[in-house]
Amino acid sequence: MKTTCICLALGLTMTMVITSEAFIYGIETAPMGCCFNFLGTHINIPLSQIRSANRTNPKCPKPAIVATTVLDKDFCVKPTSKFGIRLVKRVIKA
């Protein structure tokens, strides 16, 4: 009797795990390359020191621009900041 109850409980538990929504859809995470920390508004880097700038993936929780300097340093900029607007106009040209 105990063995039957244990097997039944394990079977029900396994059924719940297999059919659970989390198992089917997976855990949603932010795509790679998303920004969570942004360059401060008081910091202004000359555009001549920016080698490239790209927008982050649209699936990221926060929109951002990843700028790379000539020294290969990456940093995140809010696209609505003054510096972000300058980057879009002059570097990204979008």
pLDDT at 23 over 50: no
Structural fold of domain 2-92: OB fold (Dihydrolipoamide Acetyltransferase, E2P) (2.40.50)
Helix, strand, coil percentages in the chain from 3-state DSSP, rounded to 5: 40, 15, 45
Which sequence spans correspond to the domains of the chain? 2-92
pLDDT at 13: 67
Average pLDDT along the chain: 79
pLDDT tier for residue 41 given thresholds of 50, 70 and 90: confident
Q: Is the pTM of this model over 0.75?
A: no
HSE toward the beta carbon, residue 34, CA cutoff 13 A: 11
pLDDT at 22: 47
